[in-house]
C-alpha cells in the first residue's frame, strides 16, 4: 500500500523496537537516513538499530553510533528499491512493515511504502520528521544533509531541485555540519582510490560512436591498491564526464563471482533504469544499478548491447 508522510509519521510514533534496514553497498543516502531515524526514535525513548548486508564505508564513519541489540517488532527499509538490495538468501524473505524510498522502480514490496520522486530519500525522511513534530538535533541534521549530498553529488547532479536546496538550507540552519559532510564525501580519497580511478579511466572503452563509455574495476586492482570497495562509490559518475558520452557504465568485479553494474545517463530520454531493469535491477532515469553473475569480460558486451538498444529507442 502506498502511504504519505503523515501516515509514516504515525507508524514511527507508534512503533517499538525498530530495525532499520539499509541497502547492499550502502551510500550516504541509505545510511544517513538510517542513523537519522534511529537517533530520532531513541530521542523518543524507543530502541532502534541498523542492519546492512554490506559493511558501511569508512567515509561515513563520522555518522556511526552504537545501537542496542534486540528482537525487532517493527522493520523499516529506507532507500531500498527492491528486495534484492536487502542482500542474498534469507535476507530477502524479511517481512518489511514500512519502506521510505525515492526510486521510481520500487514495486511496493513492503506492507506500506512512502514513495517520492525526490533527489534523495533524505528529503522524504525530513518530511516525515516534520509530520512527527520531533526535534531535529545537529547530529540528525548532519545525517540528513549527508543523505541529500550523497545522492546529488554535492548538489551537482541533474536530480537536484529547488526543494532539495530548500531542505538543505533548513538542515544547515538546524545545525548540519555541511563542511564536514563535503570533506568526508567528496574531498577525502586514499592514494589507493586515486590509483584505481586513474587506471579505470585511462582504460575506458567507447562504443556506439563514443556515445557509450565503459570502465571496469577488478578485484585484483582493489586488492593490489589496498582499497575498500566502498571508497569507489563515486566512481560511477566519471564516465559521463567525457565529451560526447550519453551513457556511462561502471563495472565492479565482486569476490562472490558477480559484477556490480552502475549506469548513468545524461538525459531523461535515455533511461538508465530501463537498461538495468533488463538485469533485475532498477533505480532512476539517469542513475540506476544492477548485478550480473558473470565475469567482467563477459559482462561488458552484454551491458553495451543493452545500452545500444536504449539509444536506438
Predicted pLDDT of residue 304: 97
To the nearest 10 degrees (0 to 180), the angle between helices 138-151 and 178-186 is 40
Q: Which residues pair with 214 in a beta bridge?
A: 205, 249
Neighbours of 202 (CB within 10 A): 8
**H or E element: which one contains 204?**
none
Q: Please check whether residues 271 and 138 belong to one and the same domain.
A: no
Q: Please check whether residues 167 and 65 belong to one and the same domain.
A: yes
Residues composing the chain: 313
Question: How many angstroms separate the CA atoms of 221 and 193, rounded?
Answer: 10
* Beta-strand runs (E) in the chain: 18-21, 48-51, 74-78, 98-101, 112-115, 205-207, 212-217, 247-253, 259-265, 282-283, 287-292
Which of 137, 166, 186 finishes a domain? 186
Q: Please check whether residues 9 and 136 belong to one and the same domain.
A: yes
CB 274 within 8 A of CB 104: no
Q: What is the mean pLDDT of each run of 10 residues along the chain (313 residues)?
A: 98 98 94 98 98 90 96 98 85 89 95 98 98 97 98 94 98 98 90 92 96 96 86 87 96 93 94 94 91 95 97 89
When divided into structural domains, the chain yields a total of 2
Predicted pLDDT of residue 187: 87
Predicted pLDDT of residue 132: 98
CB 52 within 8 A of CB 24: yes
CB 238 within 8 A of CB 153: no
Grid cell listed for 177: 555540519
Q: Which residue has the cell 559532510?
A: 181
Which CATH number fits the domain that encloses residue 120? 3.90.1640.10
The stretches of 230-284 forming alpha helices (DSSP H) are: 272-277
Q: Please check whether residues 33 and 150 belong to one and the same domain.
A: yes
To the nearest 10 degrees (0 to 180), the angle between helices 121-132 and 162-173 is 50
Which of 150, 167, 186 finishes a domain? 186
**Phi (first) and psi of residue 38, to 5 degrees:** -60, -45
Q: Which residue has the cell 532499520?
A: 20
CB 185 within 8 A of CB 146: yes
Q: Please check whether residues 173 and 257 belong to one and the same domain.
A: no
Q: Please check whether residues 27 and 106 belong to one and the same domain.
A: yes
Which CATH number fits the domain that encloses residue 252? 3.10.310.30
Q: Please check whether residues 107 and 246 belong to one and the same domain.
A: no
Q: Please check whether residues 216 and 293 belong to one and the same domain.
A: yes
CB 63 within 8 A of CB 31: yes
Q: Please check whether residues 158 and 204 belong to one and the same domain.
A: no
Q: Whose CA is closest to 146, among 228, 57, 15?
A: 57
Distance of alpha carbon 183 from its chain centroid, rounded?
19
Which of 186, 219, 240 finishes a domain? 186
| Local structure of residue 18 (DSSP, 8 states) | E
Helix/strand/coil percent split, the chain, to 5? 45, 15, 40
Predicted pLDDT of residue 202: 95
Predicted pLDDT of residue 229: 76
Q: Please check whether residues 231 and 140 belong to one and the same domain.
A: no
Q: Please check whether residues 130 and 209 belong to one and the same domain.
A: no
The stretches of 62-203 forming alpha helices (DSSP H) are: 121-132, 138-151, 162-173, 178-186, 191-202
Predicted pLDDT of residue 55: 86
Q: Please check whether residues 169 and 41 belong to one and the same domain.
A: yes
Its domain, for residue 209, covers 191-311
Q: Kindly report the CA angle at 107 between 105 and 112, in degrees rounded to 5?
A: 125
Amino acid at each position: 500500500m502506498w502511504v504519505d508522510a503523515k501516515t509514516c509519521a504515525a507508524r514511527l510514533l507508534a512503533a517499538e523496537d525498530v530495525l532499520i534496514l539499509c541497502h547492499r553497498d550502502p551510500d550516504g543516502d541509505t545510511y544517513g537516513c538510517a542513523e537519522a531515524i534511529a537517533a530520532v526514535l531513541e530521542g523518543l525513548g524507543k530502541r532502534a538499530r541498523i542492519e546492512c548486508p554490506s559493511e558501511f564505508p569508512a567515509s561515513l564513519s563520522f555518522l556511526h553510533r552504537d545501537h542496542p541489540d534486540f528482537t525487532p517488532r517493527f522493520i523499516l527499509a529506507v532507500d531500498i528499491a527492491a528486495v534484492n538490495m536487502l542482500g542474498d538468501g534469507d535476507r530477502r524473505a524479511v517481512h518489511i512493515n514500512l519502506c521510505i524510498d525515492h526510486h521510481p522502480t520500487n514495486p511496493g514490496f513492503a506492507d506500506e511504502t512512502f514513495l517520492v520522486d525526490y533527489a534523495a530519500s533524505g528529503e522524504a525522511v525530513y518530511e516525515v520528521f516534520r509530520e512527527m513534530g520531533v526535534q531535529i538535533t545537529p547530529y540528525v541534521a548532519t545525517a540528513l544533509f549527508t543523505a541529500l549530498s550523497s545522492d546529488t553529488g554535492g548538489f551537482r547532479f541533474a536530480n537536484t531541485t529547488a526543494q532539495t536546496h530548500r531542505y538543505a538550507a533548513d538542515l544547515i540552519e538546524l545545525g548540519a555540519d555541511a563542511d564536514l559532510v563535503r570533506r568526508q564525501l567528496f574531498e577525502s580519497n586514499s592514494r589507493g582510490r586515486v590509483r584505481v580511478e586513474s587506471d579505470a579511466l585511462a582504460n575506458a572503452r567507447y562504443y556506439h560512436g563514443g556515445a557509450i563509455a565503459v570502465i571496469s574495476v577488478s578485484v585484483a586492482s582493489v586488492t593490489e591498491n589496498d582499497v575498500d570497495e566502498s571508497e569507489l562509490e563515486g566512481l560511477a559518475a566519471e564516465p559521463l564526464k567525457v565529451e560526447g558520452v550519453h551513457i556511462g557504465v561502471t563495472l565492479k568485479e565482486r569476490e562472490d563471482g558477480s559484477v556490480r553494474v552502475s549506469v548513468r545517463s545524461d538525459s531523461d530520454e535515455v533511461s538508465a533504469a530501463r537498461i538495468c531493469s533488463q538485469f533485475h535491477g532498477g533505480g532512476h532515469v539517469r542513475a540506476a544499478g544492477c548485478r550480473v553473475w558473470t565475469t567482467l569480460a563477459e559482462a561488458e558486451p552484454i551491458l553495451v548491447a543493452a545500452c545500444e538498444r536504449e539509444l536506438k529507442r
